[in-house]
Amino acid sequence: MRKGFSSEIRSTVTSEGTIEISIVRCDKLKPAEDEVLIKVEACPINPSDLGLLISFAADLDTLSVSGSGNATVAKMKIHEGLMKQMKPRLGKSMKVGNEGGGVVEDAGEKFKHLIGKTVGLAGGAMYSQYRCVKASSCLVMNDDTTTTEAASSFVNPLTALGFIETMKFENHSGLINTAAASALGQMLVKICKADSIPLVNIVRKSEHVDLLKSLGAEHICNSSDSEFLNNLVDAIVETGATLGFDATGGGNEGKLVGQMLSAMEIAANKTATEYSRYGSDTYKQVYIYGGLDQSPTVLNRSFGMQWGLGGWLLTPWIGKFGIDTFQKMRERVADEIKTTFATAYTSVISFEEMLQPEIIKKYAKQATGEKYLVNPHKD
């Protein structure tokens, strides 16, 4: 059965080589027995949303907008050399938005008790006024939690906790994290401080150093400093960190990942008792989990043979952690959503505002301290 209507954001790549972002009116669904209908009130714009929303192939200098209200359409050209990789998306009107918060408005027979509850959800297609989803996919928040607080209860909090669980899973004892002044990075600082986990934070601005110090971070290395590598080695010696997470994919002209591995190798050799032409016997691992820097990843292999570099995504790792661990992660997020996992926003915008060129350019910068929240019901 269908009842009423809902508006949602769509992104389409056209055969003319443009990306069009529009507002589409669709049916408001009636929940099945095991589903809930959520009135979505708040959705963050995360870096992970941008790859689908505007794509990293878009030329933002060509942005234009037409129409108003629900007829608003934003258009931008795709860089000619990148059009080929957009081919699987041609002509497809794609729903956008990884996570959000809202209130359960209706529910199937098994979940009537959830009506009126505030929930967080990472169900995809969250830039929508209403979402009908499996009840089991929702994180039911504590009664004093607002939908704004619940909006960012999945991507960053569970990723930060996922780093900790990966560390345990692979038998490491300390972490390195880049772009550490980000919302996710700040959460990781708080978690590691509370759980007494050694953490090395890599930032690129002096004001980021001050920010993390105010949160209680002990080891902060500024990649813009001339002594960055020496400082990084010293921090790794103190912490024993052998696992790194990189949000850039490039950084420092593409060299940051290699610098992390090299610094871990130098730190390991400082305590080595025997020489080996294959390098230290300490295993070093770096995972790339983001693409804030689109430059190539450059490896100058000066870190022996005991190392690994790979990609990291939350969902596959949740399968490795197991359902019990994942449930404990979710419960911690719900309990600490106002403290450890609190997220601040630059501005709350409507669907129409979300499609304005000047605002698109602002959230596309992915700048630290500038996070936008979308309210699908704002006029």
CA dihedral 114, 120, 125, 127 (to 10 degrees): 110
CA distance 155 to 261: 26
Say how many C-beta atoms besides its own lie within 10 A of residue 311's C-beta.
Answer: 10
pLDDT of residue 309: 96
109 and 68, same domain (yes or no): yes
128 forms beta bridges with: 8
CA distance 331 to 335: 6
pLDDT of residue 41: 98
178 backbone dihedrals φ, ψ, rounded to 5°: -95, 170
140 and 268, same domain (yes or no): no
| Pair 139, 334: CB distance under 8 Å | yes
| Pair 301, 155: CB distance under 8 Å | no
| Pair 175, 245: CB distance under 8 Å | yes
127 and 102, same domain (yes or no): yes
Structural domain harbouring 62: 2-152+344-374
145 and 182, same domain (yes or no): no
144 and 163, same domain (yes or no): no
Max Cα-Cα span within the chain:
73
pLDDT of residue 3: 58
Which residue, among 243, 240, 260, 264, has the nearest Cα to 251 in the 3D structure? Answer: 260
pTM of the model as a whole: 0.90
229 and 256, same domain (yes or no): yes
Which residue, among 348, 330, 312, 13, has the nearest Cα to 147 in the 3D structure? Answer: 348
- Pairing state of beta strands 18-29 and 73-78? antiparallel
pLDDT along the chain (379 residues), means of 10: 81 95 95 97 94 90 95 95 90 96 97 98 95 96 97 97 98 97 96 98 96 97 96 97 95 92 94 73 94 86 92 95 96 97 96 97 88 96
| Pair 298, 259: CB distance under 8 Å | no
338 domain residue, yes or no? no
239 domain residue, yes or no? yes
- Pairing state of beta strands 175-177 and 243-246? parallel
Q: Which two tokens stand for residue 154?
A: 């999945």
Q: How many domains does the chain have?
A: 2
185 and 270, same domain (yes or no): yes
Q: What is the CATH number of the domain that holds 23?
A: 3.90.180.10
196 and 119, same domain (yes or no): no
pLDDT of residue 194: 98
